């Protein structure tokens, strides 16, 4: 029987992965419409972060490369999150390890972003909780425990 926390985490991973995939694919498909908006918003972001009042001129090639990179990174992470979410849902050890690795990556990324946006500390705490939960001995055992054919057919008879 899958623990409720694992089910919730796997659904969160699957939803997040689906959103990443949808974002990346929509950026890819709607490049003609989305690219000019991206150029405008990226320029505005650069000007705000640099504290400039005038427009910064960056090459069209660089902006195009950044757009493509954002698109492919979103698709990549979408595939990773969906795969790990499915592994977690199916109680595969690689799904648990993959989720711990992704949560660790998110902790490091969140610490970096906390200097820019302090509210990312909440995301850091949530990811640390995910790591703690999946590393608990009783949860780890659920992923590595071998289930007999009787338990598969009849379910766990021990309350």
How far, in Å, CA of 51 to CA of 13, rounded?
37
Percentage of residues in the chain having pLDDT higher than 90: 58
For residue 2 the two structure tokens come to 């899958």
Domain assignments of the chain as residue spans, ordered by start = 1-90, 92-145
The C-alpha atoms of residue 4 and residue 99 are separated, in whole angstroms, by 16
Are 100 and 83 in contact, with CB atoms under 8 Å apart? no
pTM for this structure? 0.79
Q: Residue 158 has what pLDDT?
A: 55
Where residue 56 falls among pLDDT bands split at 50, 70, 90?
Answer: low
Cβ proximity of 143 and 93 under 8 Å: yes
- Listed in sequence order, the residues at least 6 apart from 43 whose beta carbon sits closer than 8 Å to its beta carbon are 55, 56, 58
72 or 158, which is more confident? Answer: 72
Per-residue pLDDT reduced to its tens digit, 32-51:
898 888 888 877 777 666 66
Distance (Å, whole) CA 95 – CA 126: 18
Residue 118's pLDDT band, with cuts at 50, 70 and 90, is confident
Angle (deg, nearest 10), helices 120-135 and 137-144: 60
């Amino acid at each position: 029987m899958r623990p409720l926390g694992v089910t919730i985490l796997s659904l969160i991973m699957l939803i997040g992965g689906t959103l990443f995939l949808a974002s990346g694919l929509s950026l890819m498909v709607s490049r003609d419409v989305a690219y000019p908006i991206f150029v405008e918003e990226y320029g505005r972001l650069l000007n705000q972060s640099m504290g400039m009042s005038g427009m910064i001129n960056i090459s069209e090639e660089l902006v195009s490369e950044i757009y493509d990179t954002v698109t492919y990174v979103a698709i990549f992470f979408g595939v990773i999150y969906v795969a790990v979410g499915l592994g977690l849902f199916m109680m595969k050890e690689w799904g648990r390890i993959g989720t711990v690795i992704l949560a660790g990556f998110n902790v490091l990324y969140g610490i970096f972003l906390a200097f820019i946006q302090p509210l990312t500390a909440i995301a850091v705490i949530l990811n640390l909780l995910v790591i703690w939960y999946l590393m608990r001995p009783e949860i780890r055992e659920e992923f590595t425990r071998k289930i007999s054919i009787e338990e598969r057919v009849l379910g766990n008879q021990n309350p």
